[in-house]
Amino acid sequence: MSDPKIPRGEFDPDDLLHLSAKRILVTGGAGFLGSHLCAALLKQGHEVLCADNFFTGRRGNLRHLLGNPRFEVMRHDVTFPLYAEVDEIYNLACPASPFHYQHDPVQTTKTAVHGAINMLGLAKRVGARILQASTSEIYGDPQVHPQTEDYVGYVNPIGKRSCYDEGKRCAETLFFDYHRQHGIEIKVARIFNTYGPNMHPDDGRVVSNFIMQALAGEPITIYGKGDQTRSFCFVSDLIDGLMRLMGSPSEVTGPINLGNPVELSIRQLAETIIRMTGSTSKLVFETLPQDDPIKRQPDITRARNLLDWTPKVQLEEGLETTIEYFSKIVAATQGAAERK
């Protein structure tokens, strides 16, 4: 006869599905990309520890995940060491929009550099594989088009954008030095413009700016003549690329460009959003900011060959979902204002 004082665990058949699950740390996990990554990892059955200092990340991005017993949220700034037992680390922590990273440029550089040092130190201590969310800003205002991973960039080290550009470049240096010196398993992804739900409506990025202005019927602000180009990748495609890179053989370190190679001008993007929202907004043109890249298009040959990855979501399909997301925010905001 069993002793009633001895607790008996309840067996859940779903536990068998998670015997090979990993414990994964996502820094910046409450941000735009981080929240989508956390959701995708949980869907695969992993345990996820989300670390975020909530400077740009938002708890609302995680609301639908909080009831999951395999998900944990920790308020933490990566400029300080973090101690946890994990199998993999996705280092996404850092403001990514010019509006946010120029707000406190010193802290931005600290986040990129000290954050990389602390996460690499954790990876070294626990033997974890670690992925760095780097950026197309590594290339600066590129003199090579489209941008391949062996292009070393054309970056102003003392400009207003350099806190982010050079911070991310230094982080890549640290990753490869830790790999060579300590044998850390690293993955480096250079992320190009990405958009989709969970973007902050006021983060200053071009897609969110244009959609919010169009929904409000306000003039759409274009810097320069609007002939500068970008390539926009929908968030689900980008997350798939990150996870494929993390799961690739150890000899695949990167850097690997992740982005949509379809290039269009900023003016074309604005006109597309006006048409899709049915907006009456007009275009207004202002001075181009310092060091704003004129052309941006990824060469994704490496991603195709090494990860069997290519974006699947077409621009208008992704914009439709993103416009719907921002429309709900606008409606909720207006409803709250009316109730006051």
Q: Which residues are catalytic?
A: 164
Tokens of 335: 């409803």
Distance CA 62, CA 71 (A): 10
Helix (H, G, I), strand (E, B) or coil at 291: coil
Q: Which residues contact 161 (CB under 8 A, 6 or more apart)?
A: 98, 102, 137, 290, 291, 292
E-only strand ranges, the chain: 23-27, 47-52, 71-75, 88-91, 129-135, 186-191, 194-195, 220-223, 229-231, 233-234, 256-258, 263-265, 283-286
Distance CA 314, CA 297 (A): 16
What's the gap between Cα 49 and its chain centre? 17
Contact 288, 332 (CB under 8 A): no
Residue 86: Cβ-neighbour burial (10 angstroms; 0-12, 13-18, 19+): buried
DSSP string, 133-163: EEEGGGGBS-SSSSBPTT---B--TTSTTHH
